[in-house]
Amino acid sequence: MASRFTNLQTDLLRTFVTVVDLRNFTETGAALGRTQPAISLQIKRLEKMTETKLLSYKGKKIELTQDGQTLLGYAREILRLNDRAAASLKRARLSGTLRIGLPIDYSIEYFQHIIAQFTQANPQMLIDVQCDRSRDLLTSLHTDNLDMVIAITDMMPAPHVSLYWAERPVWACGRDYRIDPDRPIKLIAHPEGCFYRKRMLDSLNIEGREWHIAFESPGISALQHAVLDGLGVTALTKKTLLPGMRILHPKEGFPKLANIHVGLFYKHIKMSDAALNLIEQITIGVDAFQKTTRASLRA
């Protein structure tokens, strides 16, 4: 009797994900060590297996169909679990250099601790950590200047994202800071392009509130200290609130802010054994991190 289950082969899924990320069959073939016709054949095999059209073509432009978009999320998850299993079972000595990007516009202490533990357990590894704005980190990942990145993005799912979660920023000010209802709101913000900044401005503009950027810095630490110094109000996640701060609520004229999306990004085709092992540790950490995040969102 024929099986009622369809087994999606990981090599076909990896080809599919790589084509979506690179948007080019020839580049995918080069990345995976196959010819362009072989890549085309694998996509056709996957479409036949799933009995649906996954990609559409407009000239040389490759686009996802609706079914392709649906499969993409599952494919990334299957590959992530496959790579996690392989990394967990490997006992090989790790060596080489691993380039990691961490955002200055997000709480990263938790992930720094995981990376530090990994470094101590694998002293032969060279770990290069770059801290920058999320959008600049993602650019570096796309240009192969970084191997993996934790970053904030406004679009989920996004290219090269392995897993992601949401957090709701809150309005924050100094404990004794007083809001003057007759004056524009003094904002403490990251530079233009920051997702926290956009959420603050969108929220105030919808409410018809006047605002003024009173302090601007790319680093979260500078923003935190500006809040404590009473220079204005800002948006932070609950994990980045410091003693001496208080949360501003809708009854004070500060409506709830939209969620931000944070993800772990890497290119499946670029992952070394060392990267897979660290990704395994980060993923375990993210699972724990998400539990506290979900509790925070419900609060």
Q: 222 burial class (0-12, 13-18, 19+ CB within 10 angstroms)?
A: middle
Residue 4, pLDDT > 70, answer no
What are residue 247's DSSP bridge partners? 172
What's the CA angle centered on 88, arms 86 and 91, to 5 degrees? 95
Q: Give the model confidence (pLDDT) of 89-112 as tens digits.
A: 765 556 678 899 999 878 778 788
Give residue 171's pLDDT band: very low, low, confident or very high (50, 70, 90). very high
Q: Which tokens go with 36?
A: 């362009």
How high is the pLDDT of residue 270?
Answer: 63
Give residue 269's pLDDT band: very low, low, confident or very high (50, 70, 90). low
Q: Which tokens go with 35?
A: 């010819």
Residue 159 contacts by C-beta under 8 Å, 6 or more apart in sequence?
A: 20, 21, 142, 265
As a whole number of angstroms, the distance between CA 135 and CA 119 comes to 26
Q: Which tokens go with 269?
A: 């085709």
How high is the pLDDT of residue 119?
Answer: 87
How high is the pLDDT of residue 158?
Answer: 74
How high is the pLDDT of residue 1?
Answer: 41
As a whole number of angstroms, the distance between CA 189 and CA 191 comes to 6
How high is the pLDDT of residue 2?
Answer: 46
Residue 276, pLDDT > 80, answer no
Q: Which of 66-70, 175-179, 180-184, 292-296 has the highest mean pLDDT?
A: 175-179
Q: Which of 130-139, 140-149, 195-204, 281-290 has the lowest mean pLDDT?
A: 281-290
Q: What is the 3-state secondary structure (H, E, C) of 221-290?
A: HHHHHHHHCCCCEEEECHHHCCCCEEEECHHHCCCCCCCEEEEEEECHHHCCHHHHHHHHHHHHHHHHHH
Q: Give the model confidence (pLDDT) of 32-78 as tens digits.
A: 888 989 999 999 999 999 999 999 988 778 888 999 888 988 888 88
Which one-letter amino acid corresponds to residue 17?
Answer: V
Q: Which of 95-99, 137-141, 161-165, 212-216 has the highest mean pLDDT?
A: 212-216
Three-state SS for 115? helix
Residue 17 contacts by C-beta under 8 Å, 6 or more apart in sequence?
A: 72, 75, 76, 79, 268
Instruction: Count CA atoms within 13 Å of residue 87 on its CB side.
Output: 22
Query: For all residues of the chain together, what is the average pLDDT?
Result: 85
